[in-house]
């Protein structure tokens, strides 16, 4: 058993959650407020038009997914599909994911986090998820044994993510080639139809893992 894992990142610039304002019209979903709920809580950042979110909710009735999308037109398309099905274990959120996560989620509340085909930010590498100071805060919201699932069709993005996961974040991880028949998101369908290689990285938060935000909560959480 590993105890008190020290992050290389803790020697670098820290994320500053106290400087972020809550999103417009912000409310905390009842599934988070209800501390008596035993349903595992899952987060998807960048849900797009909701293809993965809706499928996940249907396939995992024992889990509750919070799916965040910032872009208005994608979120509206997501909402239309959601309203046709109204799964009670899915909560769509239209907001900036960083500000929303800071103000809505308490520490140690998530069992999984999905980052499926994020913007590769090839001209601003500091904005890739595992390069951002915010990633440490995100890990503080994840339970021990929980997973972060990242998917991309960009080889260099995946190569960097594997290196960062191992050397900076000290996360046990496995890299997989995504099966050609997979259809989790609209991007995944498009890329695989082009015969592009898509990759998935599964990172696990190990026993004894510590971040600088394990005890930090926004005033409204």
2 assigned to some structural domain: no
Measure CA 173 to chain center.
Answer: 15
pLDDT of amino acid 3: 46
Each residue of 187-216: pLDDT tens digit?
999 999 999 999 999 999 999 999 999 999
Structure token digits, residue 110: 């998530």
Count of domains observed in the chain: 1
42 assigned to some structural domain: yes
State the residue range of the domain holding 155: 38-204
Residues with Cβ within 8 Å of residue 35, at least 6 apart in sequence = none
Backbone angles phi, psi at 146, to 5 degrees: -75, 165
Check if the beta carbon of residue 203 is closer than 8 Å to that of residue 171.
Answer: yes
Check if the beta carbon of residue 68 is closer than 8 Å to that of residue 26.
Answer: no
Each residue of 5-40: pLDDT tens digit?
555 656 667 899 999 999 988 999 999 987 656 899
Q: Enter the pTM of the model.
A: 0.93
49 assigned to some structural domain: yes
111 assigned to some structural domain: yes
Q: Which residue has the higher pLDDT, 72 or 7?
A: 72
pLDDT of amino acid 110: 97
164 assigned to some structural domain: yes
CATH number at residue 130: 3.40.50.150
> Which segment of 12-16, 55-59, 81-85 scores lowest on mean pLDDT?
12-16
Each residue of 118-173: pLDDT tens digit?
999 888 999 999 999 999 999 999 999 999 999 999 999 999 999 999 999 999 99
1 assigned to some structural domain: no
């Amino acid at each position: 058993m590993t105890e008190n894992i020290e992050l290389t990142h803790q020697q670098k610039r820290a994320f500053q959650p106290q400087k972020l304002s809550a999103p417009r019209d912000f409310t905390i979903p009842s599934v988070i407020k209800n501390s008596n709920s035993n349903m595992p809580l899952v987060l998807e950042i960048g849900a797009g038009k909701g293809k993965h979110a809706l499928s996940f909710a249907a396939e995992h009735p024992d889990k509750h997914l919070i799916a965040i999308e910032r872009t208005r037109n994608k979120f509206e398309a997501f909402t239309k599909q959601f309203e046709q099905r109204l799964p009670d274990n899915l909560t769509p959120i239209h907001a900036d994911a960083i500000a929303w996560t800071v103000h809505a989620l308490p520490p140690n509340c998530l069992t999984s986090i999905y980052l499926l085909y994020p913007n590769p930010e090839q001209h601003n590498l500091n904005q890739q998820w595992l390069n951002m100071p915010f990633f440490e805060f995100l890990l503080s919201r994840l339970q021990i044994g929980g997973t972060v699932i990242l998917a991309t069709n960009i080889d260099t993005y995946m190569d960097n993510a594997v290196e960062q996961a191992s050397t900076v974040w000290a996360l046990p991880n496995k890299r997989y080639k995504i099966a050609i028949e997979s259809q989790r998101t609209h991007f995944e369908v498009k890329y695989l139809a082009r015969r592009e290689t898509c990759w998935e990285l599964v990172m696990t938060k190990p026993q004894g893992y510590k971040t600088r935000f394990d005890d930090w909560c926004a005033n409204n959480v």
